[in-house]
């Protein structure tokens, strides 16, 4: 890949994973606030352990491989398959709160994509899409000329954006110091890379997200008496 291509792909990935992207991601904790409330997550070590589990058994086996498949739909301009895959994505969100987050962030990103003139004519604008599907679409529309290389980069950008969000939640809810938060980001970089590599080769029958503990934390968060993050 040429230097110019690499810069274009990198810029698109940085744009999508930026906290400045107006999709509301940092207003949700994905159950982490409840994990902190129960003292399951209480410091650097316990946060690192918690996020490693989420990365291995949620992102690697659900979000990232589905993101890869959404990109294939974009390449083929297959709106029917894209919509069916979006329904599968949402069905994997194990609580009302996680489903609401997926839909709310998806609506926000769809609105942004439309405002920027990036929404394609092969997708029905009247449909409601999840965040992962709109993330894939947004990345594709920005760097579709570099089809041979963009998939793993966009997957890594998604995973890093998720990790940034979770460490930000921990800074507010644990509370975790900024230095420890950066240590978490650095400590999980190799695992993010391996997660993308594994997600790229998973077959359809290998996909699934059944993190009972995480789902329970999310469900508990829906009724948590005092909370900083949305439910």
> For the domain that residue 162 is a member of, what is the CATH number?
1.10.4190.10
Report the C-alpha gap between 36 and 28 in whole angstroms: 14
pLDDT given at position 147: 67
Question: On the CB side of 78, how many CA atoms lie within 13 Å of its CA?
Answer: 12
> Is residue 201 in some structural domain?
yes
> Is residue 165 in some structural domain?
yes
Please check whether residue 116 is in contact with residue 95, taking contact to mean a CB–CB distance below 8 angstroms: no
> Is residue 202 in some structural domain?
yes
Domain of residue 189 covers 3-17+27-210
Regions of the chain with pLDDT less than 70 = 1-4, 147-148, 231
| Tokens read off for 228 | 């900083």
What's the mean per-residue pLDDT of the chain?
Answer: 92
Q: What does the radius of gyration of the chain's CA atoms come to, in whole angstroms?
A: 17
Please check whether residue 61 is in contact with residue 181, taking contact to mean a CB–CB distance below 8 angstroms: no
Count: domains in the chain: 1
| Tokens read off for 113 | 């994509």
pLDDT given at position 78: 97
Q: What is the pLDDT of residues 83-101, one digit of tens each?
A: 999 999 999 999 999 999 9
> Is residue 215 in some structural domain?
no
pTM for the full model?
A: 0.94
Report the C-alpha gap between 212 and 231 in whole angstroms: 18
> Is residue 34 in some structural domain?
yes
> Is residue 216 in some structural domain?
no
> Is residue 77 in some structural domain?
yes
Q: What are phi and psi of 38, to 5 degrees?
A: -85, 0
pLDDT given at position 164: 94
Q: What is the pLDDT of residues 64-89, one digit of tens each?
A: 999 999 999 999 999 999 999 999 99
> Is residue 218 in some structural domain?
no
């Amino acid at each position: 890949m040429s230097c110019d291509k690499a810069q274009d792909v990198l810029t698109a990935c940085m744009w999508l994973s930026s906290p400045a992207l107006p999709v509301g991601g940092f207003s949700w904790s994905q159950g982490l606030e409840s994990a902190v409330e129960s003292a399951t997550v209480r410091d650097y070590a316990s946060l690192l352990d918690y996020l490693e589990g989420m990365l291995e058994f949620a992102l690697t086996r659900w979000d990232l491989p589905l993101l890869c498949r959404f990109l294939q739909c974009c390449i083929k301009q297959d709106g029917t398959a894209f919509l069916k895959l979006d329904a599968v994505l949402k069905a994997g969100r194990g609580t009302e709160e996680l489903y609401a987050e997926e839909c709310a962030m998806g609506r926000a990103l769809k609105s942004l994509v439309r405002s920027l003139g990036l929404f394609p004519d092969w997708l029905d604008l009247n449909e409601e899409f999840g965040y992962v599907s709109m993330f894939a679409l947004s990345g594709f529309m920005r760097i579709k000329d570099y089809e041979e290389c963009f998939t793993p980069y966009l997957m890594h950008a998604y995973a890093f954006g998720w990790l940034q969000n979770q460490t930000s939640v921990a800074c507010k809810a644990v509370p975790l110091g900024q230095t420890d938060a950066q240590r978490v980001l650095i400590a999980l970089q190799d695992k993010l890379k391996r997660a993308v590599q594994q997600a790229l080769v998973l077959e359809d029958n290998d996909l699934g997200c059944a993190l009972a503990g995480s789902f329970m934390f999310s469900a508990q968060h829906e009724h948590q008496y005092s909370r900083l993050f949305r439910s």
